[in-house]
Amino acid sequence: MAGMRAITVPQPGGPEALTWAEVPDPVPGEGEVLVEVVATAVNRADLLQRQGFYDPPPGASPYPGLECSGRIVALGAGVSGWGVGDEVCALLAGGGYAERVAVPVGQLLPVPKGVSLEEAAALPEVTATVWSNLFMVAHLRPTETVLLHGGASGIGTMAIQLAKAVGARVLVTAGSAEKLARCAELGADVGINYREQDFAEAVREATGGAGVDVVLDIMGAKYLERNVASLALNGRLVVIGLQGGVKAELNLGALLAKRAAVVATSLRGRPLAEKAAIVAGVREHVWPLIEGGVVRPVVHQVLPLAEAGAGHRLLESGAQVGKVVLRV
């Protein structure tokens, strides 16, 4: 049997649980291509999967890795529009931490012009998450104001750029002056250091009491009450991360008075057709902005894939701004 190497998790645990091992080659099924991976990137979800708290969805590769870049080396049955040798990046349900991965064609994107294959590995997860939540779910408009929590995160650095590209006013939170300075360089209009000031109070000041039209939240329970308080009339709170817990009390009266909405979404477990629709939207709306130089991948550091544990330690330290890429 042909084989490849991948980062496996024989026993859930700390970063040392990640083990570079020989495993069987994936076989592309119908409507899939086989990609020889050049690079992948670390996502928060990978840390949870490594700890045993986030199993891959049914049918997905058991190895971590929600995105990759590389070259197509084989086509499964019924694939058209892509060829062997094409340079691509891809949104994955798993398996990016490997030398090869099978990818449904609906999750493939061409490497944008002007972006290296290594940088391209940092794009699929953040572009798909930000595009789907800020625009397909929250319908952020050019005249509106958005609050982005974790402005210096992988997600935050892309969200700042895309929200500015459509003309919205952008408020961000981060835990240090250095991170807020990086957010300002990317275009953020207002930076809030949540360690020094209550963010809801800062939002009130920055918006003259009106609040923001959209909040993109990664903290969940801990921020729910203040996020709702920060919404303007007809505001939309989109929760995509639960770093501050899952259960909190929701004041429906506050929502009702503002005619506001709370939505929570995740990307990984969605059906293929939904992922394909998101990826198509990214290709149509986000790729031209990247190729035009308006939006750029933000890569904090590139590490060898065999040292994936160091990448996980870096994300756990919270020191990074943007994405950590792992090169095969």
Chain residues in the site for ligand NAP (CB under 6 A): 43-45, 125, 129, 149-150, 152-155, 173-175, 179, 194, 218-219, 240-241, 243, 265-267, 315, 318
70/311 with CB nearer ligand NAP: 311
Please say whether the beta carbons of 32 and 76 come within 8 A: yes
For the CB of residue 9, give the shortest distance to ligand NAP in the complex, in Å.
18
Check: CB of residue 37 under 8 Å from CB of residue 69: yes
The β-bridge partners of 237 are 215, 262
What gap in Å lies between CA 162 and CA 70, rounded to an integer?
25
* Least CB distance to ligand NAP at residue 12 (A): 17
Chain residue whose CB lies nearest ligand NAP: 241
Residue 122: CB minimum distance to ligand NAP, A: 10
119, 12, 242, 108: CA torsion to nearest 10: 30
Q: Which is nearer to ligand NAP, 61 or 173 (CB)?
A: 173
Contact 163, 140 (CB under 8 A): yes
> What's the maximum distance between 2 C-alpha atoms anywhere in the chain?
66
Closest to ligand NAP by CB, 155 or 203: 155
Cα angle 59-65-68, degrees, rounded to a multiple of 5:
110
Closer by beta carbon to ligand NAP, 99 or else 199: 199
* Nearest distance in Å: CB 266, ligand NAP: 4
| Complex with ligand NAP: residue 152 or 206, whichever CB lies closer | 152
Residues in the chain: 328
CB of 318 to ligand NAP, least distance (A): 4
